[in-house]
Amino acid sequence: MTQPNEVPILVVTLNVPLSGNWEEDKAIIVRAAGQPTPADEYFTHATAIKGLFDYRTYDTPAQPNHPQRKGLLRKIHDELYPIAHFAKLYFTCPKNVVVQWINGNQQHDAIVEYREGGSNQSDIRYLEVTTLQGKEDADELEKLSKDPISTTVSSNTVQEKHDRKIDQLRNILNKKAAIVYPDKTALLVYTDENRFRHFHFGMPTPEINKKGDYEAVLHEFELSLQNFSHVFIFSNSEIYCAWTNPK
């Protein structure tokens, strides 16, 4: 029996036979990842796709040597999980919203549908997803894969990481502003700063006004983001700020 604080075991049923060849099975898993899914089930959907990836790449050349972000695994962490967190935080009636991830280089990462008779509290039709990640984050993942505890001796590290994300946000918004997107496309910017558990000794960590800092950058770029209907900057637990196109 599952105890109150335990995470229930996820049983995934894939009604398509796997060949045992990763290149063939990858195409099947990518198709499964694009299955239309109610917003309230999207985190479970993303977790199931991650489980299939881990299962099929285990002990094959495709298995990551460390928790790196490339190929399908990058899509899972940089698109599927952010969509799942956003769906949980934004949609007031997520059972009535269906999200379909789209693989490829088209100008959106997901399509949003609203079930007839449900709560259509948003006019969002497409999702374009990006994360505030850089080489430093990839290097930290590789380091932690070899030693699960990372120790630093300066509280300035917290501020430096936040400042780097602010710079990344400016670069991303500047880049996205130059691209033409379909009507009713929302830009999702996932901050992903809660990937690791943090614990501090000694002096308290500096207070960082994440909401205020992200909001200031979004305000700075709002005139150049007219190609979006909405822009959201969010973590896995909070939407820090949002902008809605007034037109």
234 within 8 A of 247, measured Cβ to Cβ: no
Confidence at residue 189, expressed as pLDDT on a 0 to 100 scale: 98
CA angle 180–234–155, rounded 5-degree value: 125
What pLDDT, in 10s, does the model give residues 57-109? 777 766 666 556 677 888 999 999 999 999 999 998 888 899 999 998 888 99
In the chain, the amino acid numbered 27 is A
Residue 40, both tokens: 């309230």
In the chain, the amino acid numbered 116 is E
76 within 8 A of 57, measured Cβ to Cβ: no
Residue 240, both tokens: 């820090």
- Segment 222-239 shows an average pLDDT of 95
Confidence at residue 1, expressed as pLDDT on a 0 to 100 scale: 44
160 within 8 A of 120, measured Cβ to Cβ: no
| pLDDT surpassing 70 at residue 239 | yes
232 within 8 A of 189, measured Cβ to Cβ: yes
Confidence at residue 152, expressed as pLDDT on a 0 to 100 scale: 54
**Would you call 115 helix, strand, or coil by DSSP?**
coil
Selection from 67, 193, 197, 212 nearest residue 133 by Cα: 193
Confidence at residue 76, expressed as pLDDT on a 0 to 100 scale: 92
What pLDDT, in 10s, does the model give residues 142-196? 555 555 555 554 556 778 888 999 999 999 999 999 999 999 999 999 998 766 6
What pLDDT, in 10s, does the model give residues 14-29? 778 888 888 888 899 9
Q: Read off the DSSP letter of residue 102.
A: -
